[in-house]
Amino acid sequence: MSGRLTIKDIFKVDGSGVPYLKLVIYGPSLSGKTSMLTVYNVLRKVEDPETIYSSLKKIDDPSGRTIFYDQSTFELPKGQGVSFPKLRYQVWTVAGQKRHYIQRKVVLEGADGLIFMFDPSKNMWDDNVESLTELISLKGDVLGKSLPFIVVLNKIDLPAEERMATDKFLDLLIEKKLSNNKGEAYMRVIETSCLQARNELMTLLRSPDIKSKLDEYGRLKKGARPLSVQKVAQPIEQLTREIVIHRVKSARPE
Ligand SMILES: Nc1nc2c(ncn2[C@@H]2O[C@H](COP(=O)(O)OP(=O)(O)OP(=O)(O)O)[C@@H](O)[C@H]2O)c(=O)[nH]1
Ligand SMILES: [Mg+2]
């Protein structure tokens, strides 16, 4: 192969010539997609505001239900872009209500990675199945292949009697041919509570000893993330990492 690979051979570039990835959070209405992106935004803001390239834009109705999308763009913190100077990752959520199908289709266009968010509330089972089936009808040919995905099981704060067991979701992933077996399915699932994460982050930021968790510039230290908050950030950050590693590996000449 002649010449060196450049970043533009591996990633798309945005209007200002900076490489970027597009991540989409998909799933039924009320599963917590907007909540996840909102918590992640607050986290980035307190950890390193410079990593927020464009702050959260929500297109929703007066009750807070998304009617088109939420969107925010982040940059990898300095020194974390593998050996690249800069990489942006756009995070989008879809509007989960059934009637917004066309909007979901539009938002999905050009996605480089997907987070599928289940709502384990017992009365939401059919909506979960319907939403996953819809996603497969739109992206089934590439999902889990050239389009990496992570599954989030939100609302783990709900009491056990109000929740479908995690096992049922693993079975569903196998039935839909997104995993070969339970072990593999479980590897793709991250259990979260966006509600708990939001509350714990707010409590932390208001706590009297917050100063001990801040660095010299007043930014929240990475190690200070409460576990619930880390679990909400993990799907976005892990997926970004997986896509970067995969792209770099497959672009590298043999
Ligand atoms: N108990 C509990 N409630 C949550 C959790 N995450 C979100 N919620 C609540 O679920 C409701 C819906 O959350 P949203 O984030 O707006 O859901 P969405 O998936 O964006 O919904 P659409 O915009 O209609 O697609 C809100 O009342 C949230 O407070 C969670 O982890 N646990
Ligand atoms: Mg929403």
pLDDT of residue 163: 97
Ligand 1 pocket member 154 (CB < 6 A)? yes
Task: State both tokens at 94.
Answer: 């879809």
Give, in order, the Cα–Cα distances in Å from 199 to each of 25, 42, 86: 21, 12, 32
CATH number reported for the structural domain that contains residue 65 in this entry: 3.40.50.300
41-70 confidence digits (pLDDT tens): 999 999 999 999 999 999 999 999 999 999
Q: Which residue has the higher pLDDT, 117 or 16?
A: 117
Q: What is the domain extent for residue 173?
A: 7-206+232-251
Residue 78 pLDDT > 70, yes or no? Answer: no
Statement: residue 254 has pLDDT above 70: no
Mean pLDDT over 164-173 rounds to 98
Look at residue 127 and tell me if it is in a domain.
yes
Query: 2 pLDDT exceeds 80?
Result: no
Question: Who has greater pLDDT, 5 or 221?
Answer: 221
Give nearest CA residue, ligand 1 atom 1.
155
Q: Taking all residues of the chain, what is their mean pLDDT, rounded to a whole number?
A: 93
Residue 93 Cα: closest atom of ligand 1: 20
Asked if residue 222 belongs to a domain, the reply is no
* pLDDT computed for residue 1 by the predictor: 44
Confidence class for position 251, pLDDT limits 50, 70, 90? confident
Q: Is residue 174 part of a domain?
A: yes
79 assigned to some structural domain: yes
Coil vs helix vs strand at 14: coil
The alpha carbons of the chain give a radius of gyration, in whole angstroms, of 18
- Report whether residue 30 contacts ligand 1, using a CB cutoff of 6 Å: yes
The reply to whether 189 falls in a domain is yes
240 touches ligand 1 (CB under 6 Å): no
Contact present, 170 and 182 (Cβ < 8 Å): yes
Range list of β-strands (E), 61-119: 66-75, 88-94, 113-118
Decide which of 32 and 209 is more confident: 32
C-beta of 195 in contact with ligand 1 (< 6 A): yes
Tell the residue number behind the tokens 């992106």, with chain if given: 37
- The count of other CB atoms within 10 Å of the CB of residue 226 is 15
Kindly tell me if the per-residue pLDDT of 81 is higher than 70.
no
User: How far is ligand 2, taken at its centre, from the CA of residue 18, in Å?
Assistant: 28
Check whether 90 has a pLDDT greater than 70. yes
216 part of a folded domain: no
Q: 10 Å Cβ neighbour count for 118?
A: 29
Which residue type, as a one-letter code, is found at position 182?
K
Structure tokens at 171: 């079975």
Number of Cβ within a 10 Å radius of residue 230 = 15
217 in any annotated domain: no
CA–CA distance, 44 with 58 (Å, rounded to integer): 17
Count of structural domains within the chain:
1
pTM: predicted TM-score of the whole model, two decimal places: 0.95
User: Is ligand 1 within 6 A of the CB of residue 32?
Assistant: yes
Q: Is residue 220 part of a domain?
A: no
